[in-house]
Amino acid sequence: MGPTAWRHWAEAARPKTLPAAVIPVLVGTALAAAHRTADCGKAAICLLFALLVQIGTNFANDYFDFVKGADTPARVGPRRAVAAGLIAPRTMLRATGLVLGVAFLVGLLLVREGGWILLPIGIISIVCAIAYTGGPFPLGYNGLGDLFVFIFFGLVAVDTTFYVQAGGLAPDATSCAAAVGLLAANILVANNYRDAETDARAGKRTLVVRFGRKFAVWQYALSHIVALLCPAALIIHGYRWPVLLPLVLAPWAFGLTRRLAASREPAEQIALLAATAKYLAAFGVLLSAGLILGR
């Protein structure tokens, strides 16, 4: 496989979305460090599993959105490998199975570290990676994509990372997981906001399609507000002021919301999608530092 082909696969992995996989593991590990149970080896396994599931989801999305007609060469967002003719549909489907198969094997290492309770969680995560846009009831086509992201890239990813290292759960993990999940879902909101017209024509009933762009702006704004309030809740659990470090991002969150509401051009909305992912990354880094410094 030549350099051009590698670039096509790297593009299909959608690197701008990968903070949604990395940040939950970072925050979960910082929580474990705050509880003095952090384990770099276990964290690395969690990170590899999360990245593989994210990439597998992106590959599946590339394939199924093409098959269902949501992605065409005329789409306004970043090009999709199958729709653009860069990767054959059957090849993308095989790659999806390969990546998620490797994710399952990595997940077995987590089961060894954290117990059999993690096996159904891992299986459901992998199944939902396909069910997001594939299967008889694709979540993303029925307005459940945002909930899927909140649960699996927030609650499940953060709590599982913490559980594997700490051997149990803790109340402070809920606040952190909720914040991360809301901001990860905002990446999807920005993406669906841009694609509302093409999604509607393809029968993809995202929340933006169902309730309109004004609803999407409110959802985006409220997710930012609640996420910024979550660190304050950690004060109740005995953390000191450094845990409030993410609050310095409030002006950025306000600016992103204003940009979303005012955006009209696809190029601007593509840039906003990348900025939303960068915001999640910055929030996760500051929250992680606050967890460790504020304990």
Tell me what pLDDT residue 2 has: 67
Give per-10-residue mean pLDDT for the chain (295 aa).
82 89 96 95 95 95 85 68 90 96 95 90 93 86 92 94 92 92 95 87 89 95 96 90 96 97 87 94 97 91
What residue spans of the chain are helical by DSSP H?
Answer: 3-12, 19-34, 40-67, 89-114, 118-131, 145-150, 157-166, 171-194, 196-201, 207-211, 213-233, 250-262, 266-293
Tell me what pLDDT residue 1 has: 63
Q: 3-state DSSP: the chain helix, strand, coil percent, rounded to 5?
A: 80, 0, 20
- CA 78 to CA 84: how far, in whole Å? 10
Tell me what pLDDT residue 77 has: 66
Structural domains of the chain, ranges and CATH numbers in brackets = 3-293 (1.10.600)
Tell me what pLDDT residue 69 has: 74
